Structure 1
Amino acid sequence: MERAPDPCSNYTSGSMWDPNMSNVLRERSRGNLTGAEECGGSVSVAFPLSMMITGLVGNALAMSLIYKSYRKKESKRKQSFLLCIGSLALTDFTGQLLTSPIVISVYLANRQWSRVDSSGHLCTFFGLCMAMFGLCPLFIGSAMAIERTLAIRSPHWYSSNMRTKATITVLLSIWGAVLSFALMPVVGLGQYSIQWPGTWCFISTDHKTPRNIVFAATFACLGLLSLATTFTCNLATIKALVSRCKNRTSSSQLSKQWERITMETMIQLMGIMCVLIVCWSPLLVLMLKMIFNHTSLDRCGPTLAAKDPELQKDCNSFLTAVRLASLNQILDPWVYLLLRQILLRKFCQVANAVSNCSNDGHKEQVIILTTETRKPEGFA
C-alpha cells in the first residue's frame, strides 16, 4: 500500500466526489491550478518515488536473502517460518509495484485524480490493492506468530505435521481469502471511493449506505483481530521460551543450536509485529471510531475547518493514519534485514541475560552466535 499524498493537494479537491463525476475537477479555476503547482508538483513527486524505490529494493533484497537461507540444509528447522516471511516480502513488493505508479501519476498530474482516471475504474483497482495488500501482511504476520507458537509449545506435533506443503497451502489460502474479501465492492458489497484530499482511494465509510458500513467495519475488525492474534501468540511463545530456557538441563551442541535458531526467529517476529501494530492500529481504530460516530470523509475539504473543526480533525487524523499504514510495506523488509545483519547478536545477548539462562552455557553460546553471524552464511 502506497503513501497517501500530502495536504498540499487541498488546492485540487475542495470536496469529495464520485469517481464517475470526472468533470468536477475540470471545473477548477486556473488560480487553484496555479496554487497546486506552487505547492510543489515537481518536488512532491520525489516522496512517493523515493518510497517506492526504498520499498522495492528492501523487499527484493529480503526475498533474495530468504531464498538463499531456504536453500541451505541447516535451515530445515526454519523452512516454514522462511516461507511465511518470504511471502510477506513478496506481498509487500507486489503491493508497492501495483500502487506506486498510480500515486506517482497523480502527483505528476498536479494531484488531480480525474486527469489520471476519468472513468473511475482505476479508483476501484487502487482501493482493492489498498485493502488486499493491507490485510495480507496482517494475516501473514498472524500465521508466522501461530507457526512459532506451535514450533515452541508443541514441538513433537509440529515436527510430525508441519510440512512445507501445509505452509504453502495456508499462505495461498490467506491470499485467496483476502482477495475474495477485497473484491466484494466490485459486486456491490461495499464501495471504494476517492478519499480526501481527492488523490487516493480507499474503503468508503459513508453511513448513508449500510453495505459500505458493514464492509468497512469488517475490514477494521479483521485487521484488529489479526493484530490481537499475533500479539497473543507471541506472548505465549516468549513465555514458553523463558520457561524452557530456565529449566534446560542439556548443554549439548544441538540444544544450543535450537536455542539460537529460535531466538533469531523470535527477534525477527517481534520486530515485524511491532511494525504491524504501530503502522496499522491507528487506522483500524479510527475507521471503527468514524463508523460508530456516523461520520465519513465525504465532507472533508479546505473550507471545513471553519464549519466543523471536529470533523476536519478526524479528516487530518485519518490521512495521517493512512500515511502511517503505508509505511508498513517499506519497514517490514528493512526491519527483517537489520535484525539479521546488524542488531541480532546484541539482541540475543540481552535476551539470554534477561531469561536467566545457565551461566555455564551462556558464554559458549554467545561465542557460537558471534562466529556464525560473521560468516556469509549468517544470513541463513
Structure 2
Amino acid sequence: MESLNITHRSVSMNETLVQHSQATTFDTAIALPIFMFAGGAIGNIIAIIVLSVSRQERKSSAFYTLVCGLAVTDLLGTCLASPLTIANYMDKTVLMVQHVCEFHSFLLLFFGLTGLSIICTMAAERYMAICCPYTYQRWGVDRRFAQKFLFFIYICNIFFCCLPMMGMSKSELQPSRTWCFIDWGTEEPVAAAYTVLYGSVSLLLILGTILLNLAVCGALLLMRQRTVQRPVTRASVRDRWRALSSAAETQMMAVLVMTSAVVLACSAPLVVRVFANCFILNNDPNADLAAIRIAAVNPILDPWIYILLRRSLFRKVLKLSRQGSSTRSTSSPTLQTSLFYPVIVRDSHVITQLMCNANIMTQLPATVKFTSYDTESPRQT
C-alpha cells in the first residue's frame, strides 16, 4: 500500500510539473504578441501626434503626407491583425473558422503590400522633386495629390488582396496554428499563379525603392559636389548658401533611407519564403513563422524613425556636428572666412539679407562672425 501511495504521489507531482510547465510556456508565448501589439500601437500613435503638430509648411508637403499615411497604415495593421493573433493564443479554435482565417490572411497580405507601396511612392516623390523638378511642379505634387495617390494605393491593394477570397487562391492555417496565409505550396495553376504574382509585385516594389533611393542619393551628391566646386560670386552666393544649409532636404532623405531600410529588411524574408515555398517546395514551417514575425516587427520600428528624426532633434545633431568640425578648424579662421566671404564680406547688410532669404541663420559655421564689417571699417576710413 505504501508503494502504491508513493507511486500515486509521484504521478501527481509529475502532472503538476507538466501543467506548470505548460502554463509557463503559454504565458511566454502570449506575451510576445501582446508586447508587439502594445509597441506598435503606442509607437504609431506617438508618431502620428508628432507629425500632426509639425509646422504647416511640412504638413502641406507631399512627402510628409506619405509618411503620415504610412504611420496610419502601420497603426491599422497592428490594431486589426494583432487582436486576432492574441485571441487565437487564448482559444486555438479562433483561426480554424474559415472566414476568420481568410480575413487574417487578407490583413497580412494587404498591410505588407501597402507598406511596400507607400515606401516606393515616397522614394518616387523624392526622385521627382530632386531629379525632375519641372515635372514635379507641372503635376502639382502636393498634399492633396499625395492623399489621392494614397487612396489609389489602398483601392488597388484591397482589390488585389481580396482575390484569394474570390476563388483565385485559398487561405489556410499554417502549421504553427498561430497565423493564416495563402496556400503557397499548392499545385493548382491558378493559386500558384497568384502566389507568384504576389511575390513578384512585392519584389518589384523592393527593387524600385532601392533603385530610386540610389538615384536620389547619387543626384544629391553630384549636386553638392558641383555647388562646392563652383566659384563664389554675387550671383552664386545664394545657391551656395542653400546647398550648405539644406537641413530640411537632408532630413527628408534620412527619414526615407532609414524607413526604406527597415521596411525592406522586414519584408524581404517573407518575399523569399513566398518564392521558396512556390518553386523550391521547401516546406519549413519554422522559417515561415520567423519570416512573418520579422514582418510584424516593421510597424514597431517605423514610427520611432519619425520620432527620433524629427526636425528639431535633427537640427541639434547637425549643430553639434558643425560645432565639432569648427572646433577642429579654429587654427585657420582667416582661410575659412575668405572661403565663404571673398567678395561680399564688406557689406554686412547684404550678408544678412541673403541669409534671411535662404533661411540659414542657424546654419552658420561657428567661426564666421558678423563683426567682420566692424573690423574692416576702421581701415577703410
Q: Normalized against structure 1, the TM-score is what?
A: 0.73
- Asked if 1:323 corresponds to 2:293, the answer is yes
**1:277 partner letter:** L
Aligned counterpart in structure 2 of residue 101 of structure 1, from 47, 59, 83: 83
Residues in 2 aligned to 1:370 and 1:130: alpha-carbon distance in whole angstroms:
48
Instruction: Map residues 115-134 of structure 1 onto 2, 5 A cutoff.
Output: 116-134=94-112
Secondary structure of 1:157's partner? helix
* Bigger relative contact order (CA 8 A; separation at least 6): 1
Q: How does 1:187-206 map to 2 (within 5 A)?
A: 187-206=166-185
Report the aligned-residue RMSD.
Answer: 3.2
Counterpart among 29, 36, 58 of residue 75 in structure 1: 58
**Alignment match, 1:368:** 362
Q: Match for 1:160 among 138, 160, 165?
A: 138
Could you say if the C-alpha distance between residues 44 and 35 of structure 1 is closer, same or farther in structure 2, counting changes exceeding 3 Å?
A: same
State yes or no: 1:225 paired with 2:208. no
2:279 maps to 1:292 = yes
Give the gaps of 5 or more residues in structure 1.
1-29, 296-310, 354-358, 372-380
Structure 2: stretches of 5+ with no match in the other structure: 1-14, 231-235, 325-335, 341-354, 366-381
Provide the residue aligned with 1:43 in structure 2.
Answer: 28
Q: Distance in 2 between matches of 1:118 and 1:286?
A: 23
The residue type paired with residue 26 of structure 2 is G
CA–CA separation in structure 2 for the residues paired with 1:233 and 1:203: 30
Amino acid at match of 2:191: N
Deviation string, structure 1 residues 242-297 (Cα, Å, up to 9, x no partner): 111112254438725872211110000000111012111121012112211235xx
Letter in 2 for 1:292: F
Q: d(CA) in 1 for partners of 2:177 and 2:19? A: 17
Q: Which has the larger radius of gyration?
A: 2
* Greater alpha carbon shift after TM alignment, 100-109 vs 82-91: 100-109
Q: Are the counterparts in 1 of residues 95 and 180 from structure 2 also a CA contact under 8 Å? A: no
State the partner residue of 1:336.
Answer: 306
Which amino acid is 1:81 matched to? Answer: F
Deviation at 1:58, TM superposition (A): 1.0
Whole-angstrom CA distance in 2 between matches of 1:119 and 1:93? 25
* Shift of residue 350, structure 1, vs aligned partner: 7.6
Q: Distance in 1 between matches of 2:318 and 2:290?
A: 31
- One-letter identity of the residue aligned with 1:179: I
Q: Residue 131 of structure 1 contacts residue 182 of structure 1 at CA under 8 Å; is this kept in 2?
A: yes
CA deviations 1:183-202 (Å, max 9, x no partner) are: 00111011111112112101
Q: Within 1, Cα distance between the matches of 2:270 and 2:363? A: 39
Q: Is 1:281 aligned with 2:268?
A: yes
Shift of 1:344: 6.7
**Structure 2 CA distance for aligned equivalents of residues 345 and 220 of structure 1:** 42
Amino acid at match of 2:43: G
Instruction: State the match for 1:212 in structure 2.
Output: 191
Percent identical among aligned pairs is 27
Q: CA deviation at 1:347?
A: 7.2
How many positions carry a matched residue from both structures? 311
Q: CA deviation at 1:35?
A: 8.8
Using the size of structure 2 for normalisation, the TM-score is 0.73
Give CA deviations for 1:53-80 in whole Å, capped at 9, x if unaligned.
11111111111121222xx34427x710
Distance 1:343 1:195, change over 3 A: farther
C-alpha change, 1:158 and 1:348, in structure 2 (3 Å) is farther
